[in-house]
Structure 1
Amino acid sequence: MRLKATVAYDGSAFVGWQKQPNGNSVQTEIEKAVSLINKEKTRVFGSGRTDAGVHGLGQVFHFDSPFEIQGKAWIKALNSMLPLTIRIVDVEPVDDSFHARYSAKTKTYEYRVNNGEYDLFKREYECYYPEKLDLGKIEEACQRFLGEHDFTSFNATKLEVIENQVRTIYRFDFEVIDNHIIFTICGSGFLKYMVRMMIATCLKCGTGKIKPEKITEMLEAKDKDVMQYNIEPNGLYLKKVNY
């Protein structure tokens, strides 16, 4: 039977979601646990990669099992084997045609910015950005990304790896809570570093170093060389995957 699982994890403890030769990954830990329960080597398929330092609130993966085990039992068993930096929050049976990556309709990310006093104990979970910001300019910058665009200028992946750079952004906004800016971005899909580049560009607009209308020029350029901005991964969270 095929199972769909939702997982939360602390990205600061891993080299990313995907298995890597240079360190421990979230996928590696989950595959070890699932394989023990299945009594055979089992591969899990995630909705997409998250980089080192990026956190998961609602990452989704699927796997197959020869056993008819209920969802709650899977949650209990997996969490008993996984490190405390990874928690399975839901498991449910799905049709055999379901694929965590290819069946996904939209993904929602959250990015947390601390624009106030530096907090040592949250350094792995938010981006410290002490510069004075014009929130109106940031809002205008966010709006520039809405809709369907070719995101070649906001993509770190080699062009020959992904031919189609067109993505649709359905939502890009933020709320301010006690000197913290919480960005929410929902789209049809995202390219490598795309979310972080978009956030970095909006913050640069907030500082006045670039104007919001520059974003439209960057999108229309479809040129990787025009992008000079990125931001650290620790403030980024994969919040939800919709199917």
Structure 2
Amino acid sequence: MRVKAVISYDGSHYQGFQKQKSTKMTVSSAIEEALSSLQIDSPIVGSGRTDAGVHATGQVIHFDLPDFWHDLEKLKRNLNRKLTDISFKHISVASNDFHARFSAKKRVYRYVFKTHKPSVFEQKYISYYKSFDPILLISALKIFEGKHDFNFFHKTGTITHTTVREIYRATYMERDGYHFIYFEANGFLRSQVRMMVDTAMLCAKGDMSITQLQEQLSCQKKYTTKLAPPEGLYLARIIYG
């Protein structure tokens, strides 16, 4: 039986979501170890990868259960007892052809930062950028909306058949001293969100012009490859159908 699970995790404790040969400290490895202890040998498939230090409040995974596992609430309780820094929010039955990655239609990322240094209790979960112009930030974010070739906005190392992605929404809001940037798209390249955030913030601080951003987005000239700190980034939601 194939199941779909929505999970959240504290990425500061892991070297990313995807399994790696060099370390077992990944979200996937931790979940598969917990599943194995419950006699579930299925590998897990995630809706997308997150970098080391990046968090999730709405990551989606799928895996297959043996016939003797049919109580999904009991399974969720058992997994949450075994895992630290990872929480199973929901587990539900999925169709046999459901795929956490390929069935997804939209993905939403949230970036959180402050304009003064976060406290020691926040520093793993909130990023820091100095004062900026919100109007310039909104203008920069709007440039990303639409379908573009993001060849100059990702880290190399991941094989993909195309670097074209469509950004449906790129917005900014502020609430109680916390600043939020949201990206909603059909998909993202490796570290694309972190690079877009930092480039938009360069524009918002006057260190880069909107014209330069447009030139980099149209693959004319690369002005920056710097990434926003991972602490403020959250995979917030996966939308299907």
TM-score norm. by structure 2 comes to 0.94
Q: Structure 2 counterpart of 1:240, which letter?
A: R
Structure 1: 5+ residue runs without aligned partners? none
2:235 — aligned with what? 238
Cα shift at 1:18: 1.1
What SS class does the counterpart of residue 104 from structure 2 fall into?
coil
Q: Structure 1 counterpart of 2:219, which letter?
A: A
Q: Counterparts of 1:192 and 1:228 in 2: how far apart (Å)?
A: 12
Q: Does 1:70 align with 2:71?
A: yes
Residues 107, 237 of structure 2: 8 Å contact kept: yes
Cα shift at 1:226: 3.7
Q: Does 1:175 align with 2:167?
A: no
Q: Counterparts of 2:131 and 2:26 in 1: how far apart (Å)?
A: 36
Cα shift at 1:71: 2.6
1:33 — aligned with what? 34
Q: Structure 1 counterpart of 2:234, which letter?
A: Y
Matches within 5 A, 1:92-131: 92-129=92-129, 131=130
2:80 — aligned with what? 79
Q: Counterparts of 1:203 and 1:97 in 2: how far apart (Å)?
A: 41
> Residue deviations 1:51-100, cap 9 Å, x none?
110001010100001134133222112112112x1110000001000011
> Residue deviations 1:214-241, cap 9 Å, x none?
2211111266x44332111110000001
Structure 2: 5+ residue runs without aligned partners? none
Q: Counterparts of 2:92 and 2:41 in 1: how far apart (Å)?
A: 20
Residues 110, 238 of structure 1: 8 Å contact kept: yes
The change in CA–CA distance for 1:120 and 1:151 in structure 2 (over 3 A counts) is: same
Residues 116, 180 of structure 1: 8 Å contact kept: no
1:58 — aligned with what? 58
Residues 153, 222 of structure 1: 8 Å contact kept: no
The change in CA–CA distance for 1:8 and 1:158 in structure 2 (over 3 A counts) is: closer
Q: Does 1:14 align with 2:11?
A: no
Question: How many residues end up aligned between the 2 structures?
Answer: 238
1:186 — aligned with what? 184
Matches within 5 A, 1:197-216: 197-216=195-214
What SS class does the counterpart of residue 100 from structure 2 fall into?
coil
Q: Counterparts of 1:170 and 1:102 in 2: how far apart (Å)?
A: 18
The change in CA–CA distance for 1:121 and 1:145 in structure 2 (over 3 A counts) is: same
Q: Does 1:227 align with 2:224?
A: yes
> Residue deviations 1:95-143, cap 9 Å, x none?
00001111111100000011135422211001111x2201000000000
1:138 — aligned with what? 137
> Residue deviations 1:119-170, cap 9 Å, x none?
22211001111x22010000000000001000001011248x2230000001
The change in CA–CA distance for 1:113 and 1:132 in structure 2 (over 3 A counts) is: same
Q: Counterparts of 2:45 and 2:218 in 1: how far apart (Å)?
A: 34
Percentage of pairs with the same residue: 35
Residues 153, 225 of structure 2: 8 Å contact kept: no
Residues 144, 213 of structure 1: 8 Å contact kept: no
